[in-house]
Chain A
Amino acid sequence: MMETLQALAEPHRFQIVELLRDGPRRVGDMVHRLGLRQPQVSKHLRVLSNAGLVDVRVDAQRRIYALRPAPFEELEVWIERYRRIGEGNFQRLDGVLQELKAKEEKRGRTKR
């Protein structure tokens, strides 16, 4: 996952990933949209490809890049763990309830 984050941390590579979110694109198209030079874009695409963020296929001499879902799913699983921090109150309530339940069961047993 560190590789994914490092690849995304470069602003132009982040822009490329954002562009590819809408679907696969040709290199020339990305060069045009980003206002960068082709060698620069190709270099960034190589980094993204090495990090496993994009796949490339060749279609009639053109290189077409697309996002790979796996690293994004991995990020989602990771972020999900942090989202639960906001759930702290309810996790504490879980603890309080376990205690109340145990007390009630104990009371129930002594009554009988």
Chain B
Amino acid sequence: MDAQSARAPMKNSGTLKVTTPSDREVAMTRVFDAPRHLVFQAWTEPELLKRWLWGPDDWRLAVCKMNLKPGGGLRFVWSHRDGKDMGMSGVFREIAPPDRLVFTEIWDEDWTDGETLVTILFSEHAGKTTLTQTVLYSSRQARDAALRTGMEHGAAVSYDRLAELLKS
């Protein structure tokens, strides 16, 4: 092995990990360098959510309303600079600061084939928080379709860069 092949790919504790705990679920895990009550706060205050929860390609979170109690509603609308909107509504099932947050979600243009159930767990260790966000889809087909879209988007971004690089 030469020096180049001995260099291992970068692994970063802050990197997003995606797993499929069951055939209807997708779970994302990410570590944040902050205690969990702050991560919980950043997830439950609309003005804070608007600052980070964007869609791909600069879809900004423009409307963020949440009635933070069991049975309370939530309404998120993302806006693109070309004027298009993308909305999602849901209902809170469980609010247990700073441990967990459970709510349902459904997109206005129902591309997940029905409602999904989102469970966010916040666990703290040595001042750092591990956030686990699990989305339960209505069926395996719906889950697989969502995974494909996500991956295709990721791949599309990479391929765009590759194409640009090859042009130069």
Chain B residues 88 to 126 lying within 8 A of chain A, measured CB to CB, are none
A52 to chain B, nearest CB (A): 9
B126 to chain A, nearest CB (A): 14
Contact B15 A73 (CB under 8 A): no
Interfacial chain A residues near B8, Cβ < 8 Å: 73
Chain A residues 16 to 42 lying within 8 A of chain B, measured CB to CB, are none
- The complex places the Cα of A9 from the Cα of B5 at a distance, in Å, of 22
- From A82, A84, A86, A94, B33 is in contact (CB under 8 Å) with A94
B48 on the A face (CB < 8 A): yes
Contact B4 A83 (CB under 8 A): no
Asked if A86 meets B10 with Cβ closer than 8 Å, knowing A70-B2, A94-B33, A101-B38, the reply is: no
A10 on the B face (CB < 8 A): no
A66 to chain B, nearest CB (A): 13
- The complex places the Cα of A92 from the Cα of B56 at a distance, in Å, of 13
Contact B5 A98 (CB under 8 A): no
Contact A5 B165 (CB under 8 A): yes
Interfacial chain B residues near A59, Cβ < 8 Å: none
Residue in A closest to B18 when the chains form the complex, CB atoms? A86
- The complex places the Cα of A29 from the Cα of B35 at a distance, in Å, of 59
Chain B residues 27 to 60 lying within 8 A of chain A, measured CB to CB, are 30, 32-35, 38-39, 41-42, 48, 51-54, 56
B69 on the A face (CB < 8 A): no
Asked if A80 meets B9 with Cβ closer than 8 Å, knowing A86-B157, A97-B39, the reply is: yes
Asked if A92 meets B51 with Cβ closer than 8 Å, knowing A5-B166, A97-B32, the reply is: yes
Contact A77 B2 (CB under 8 A): no
Contact B33 A97 (CB under 8 A): yes
Q: List 20 A-B contacts (CB under 8 A).
A: A5-B165, A9-B166, A70-B2, A77-B7, A77-B9, A80-B9, A82-B157, A87-B15, A88-B54, A88-B56, A90-B14, A90-B32, A93-B39, A93-B52, A95-B52, A96-B42, A97-B33, A97-B42, A98-B34, A104-B38
Residue numbers of B with Cβ under 8 A of A are: 1-2, 4-5, 7-10, 14-16, 30, 32-35, 38-39, 41-42, 48, 51-54, 56, 150, 153-154, 157-158, 161-162, 165-166
Q: Could you list 8 further interchain pairs (A-B, Cβ under 8 angstroms) beyond the known A5-B165, A9-B166, A90-B16?
A: A70-B5, A82-B157, A82-B161, A90-B32, A92-B51, A96-B48, A96-B51, A100-B38
